[in-house]
Amino acid sequence: MRENAAKKIAIYCRVSTDEQAKEGVSLDEQKARLHAYCRAMGWATEAVEYIDDGYSAKNMERPALERLLRHVKTGRVERLMVTKLDRLSRRLLDLLTLIELFQNHDVSFVSTSESFDTATPSGRLTLQVLGAVAEFERERIRERVFDNMLHAAKMGKWLTQAPYGYRLDAKKLVICEMEALLVQRVFRMFVEDGLGYFQIAKKLNQEHIPSRNGKAWSIRSVKIMLSNPAYAGTLVWNRVDSSQKRRVLKEEDAWVEMRDAHPAIVEQALWHQAQQRIASHPRMPPRAQASPHLLGGYLRCGECGAAMSIGWSGNPRRTRVYRCSAYRNQGLCQSKPYRADDVERWFVEALECVVEPVNHARHTALVQRVRAEQIAKLDQRMHAAKMRYDRQVEAYTAGLIEMDTLAREKVALKRCVAEYAKEMSTTDSSSHDKELEERLRGRAVTLGDALTVLPADWIKAKLRTWIHSVILHGREDLEIVLCPDLTMVSDAMDQSIGGFLEYGVE
């Protein structure tokens, strides 16, 4: 249709699913009323229909309305008709915007129920008054809905779709055991193993574990799971404002938070560790996570603070080097490249100095644990010997055995008591502790030895739980920056070192 073609009368009809169910305002009925109105007014101009089926009037993002407005701007419409004002919009601001658009393009607006035409001043005044009333009513409805949902949230009722790991039963969350095990595993992979969102999603997809909707896992789905307070048993509602075109996070004062509202899948300690890591760690790019180079994604330039990336130097004999990306990409830094083998050796040596107190504590703890196990075995043997003698006494009293049999059992008990006293004195001695500690040190694998045989991505995942970054200031001058939370660093360091040594021994 060309711009200079005859203008049309536009008929706009809209219905949402809720309105159709409650009020019976069908699209067919709206169209019939508008066409009848045209005939009654004697308008012979052809009427063109614009239909939005199942769209709310809270905003103007509707396909038929958008097409209608394009036609208004190109001069194809002379009059717009609706059965009722709220068919077009429930917001006064949107209505005033539309009226201004219609006026600029000489389009009159007619509502059959309210009996006005914006071609007249009285019609425009009536439209503004009715628009204000419609918006007021909409706000009233929104407040009532909010109050009802707030009451339901405080009663512990879940108001949306159940998250992965739960099922809804009478609007209450109940644990789905199979899915809950996977949720716990994801949290452990993130906190204890140091895996990132990408690595976790990749691992789940490789194991062909489907998500709730049957789709593959993604960085976003893993992050949403790790950030969802529902897994700690907490219901949080009214965090996001969805009334605008773009969802906006509200202030924490407006949130509705109910602790212990439903059974928790993840322990509180593990949940808080996950949130601490999310808050304190910058997300390492997936490419850096999978990098086979030990310090890829960690190492930063001491000159300018930019990341240092792996490169190659020399021809024909190529050598791995760490080079400042600011120099490599922009030429802005004067830092020279460093041989990667040297930098990684410096890092391991520095790391051994950092973890030496933890290694010593681990050896001491191992000695104490072995001693406790030995004492428990001795106590068990002693208890079994006493119980056996007591049963023999009962048998002799009942006339089931002879005196000689009881006497032999008494001799055996005395021998067991003597052995128990001897072994207990040996176990409690400091020389025994030193001997045991030397044996443990002889069998232990050093951190440096472990790091030379373990996969780089596995090592980096463990280190990521407590190391924030590594800064290279110069030759043999490395700065290891730990995470801000000292408690988390201590726990994660202990778990990592244990994992290195156990993995190396295996």
H helices present in 257-318, as ranges = 268-280, 286-289
* 16: annotated active-site residue: yes
Amino acid at 499: G
> Residue 243: how many CB atoms within 10 A of its CB?
10
What is the Cα–Cα distance from 148 to 157, expressed in whole angstroms? 11
Angle in degrees, CA 363, 506, 180, rounded to 5: 90
Asked if residues 304 and 333 have their Cβ atoms less than 8 Å apart, the reply is yes
Asked if residues 163 and 230 have their Cβ atoms less than 8 Å apart, the reply is yes
Give me the residue label for tokens 């703890």. 365
Q: What's the gap between Cα 163 and its chain centre?
A: 12
Give me the residue label for tokens 């049309």. 8
What is the Cα–Cα distance from 286 to 222, expressed in whole angstroms? 14
What is the Cα–Cα distance from 216 to 223, expressed in whole angstroms? 14
Q: How many alpha carbons fall within 13 Å on the CB side of residue 384? A: 8
3-state secondary structure of 336: coil
Compute φ and ψ for 169, nearest 5 degrees.
-135, 110
What is the Cα–Cα distance from 3 to 312, expressed in whole angstroms? 64
Burial profile 427-464: b = 16 or more Cβ within 10 angstroms, e = fewer: beeeeebeebbeeeeeebeebeebbeebebbebbbbbb
Peptide bond into 316 cis (omega under 30): yes
Asked if residues 209 and 189 have their Cβ atoms less than 8 Å apart, the reply is no
What is the Cα–Cα distance from 128 to 93, expressed in whole angstroms? 10
What is the Cα–Cα distance from 469 to 490, expressed in whole angstroms? 16
Asked if residues 447 and 359 have their Cβ atoms less than 8 Å apart, the reply is yes
Q: What share of the chain is helix, strand, coil (3-state, %, to 5)?
A: 55, 15, 30
Q: Is the Cα dihedral 137, 139, 143, 148 positive or negative? A: positive
Q: What does 366-421 look like in DSSP terms, one character per residue?
A: HHHHHHHHHHHHHHHHHHHHHHHHHHHHHHHHTTSS-HHHHHHHHHHHHHHHHHHH
What is the Cα–Cα distance from 483 to 254, expressed in whole angstroms? 31
What is the Cα–Cα distance from 276 to 281, expressed in whole angstroms? 8
Compute φ and ψ for 207, nearest 5 degrees.
-85, 5
As annotated, the active-site residues are 16
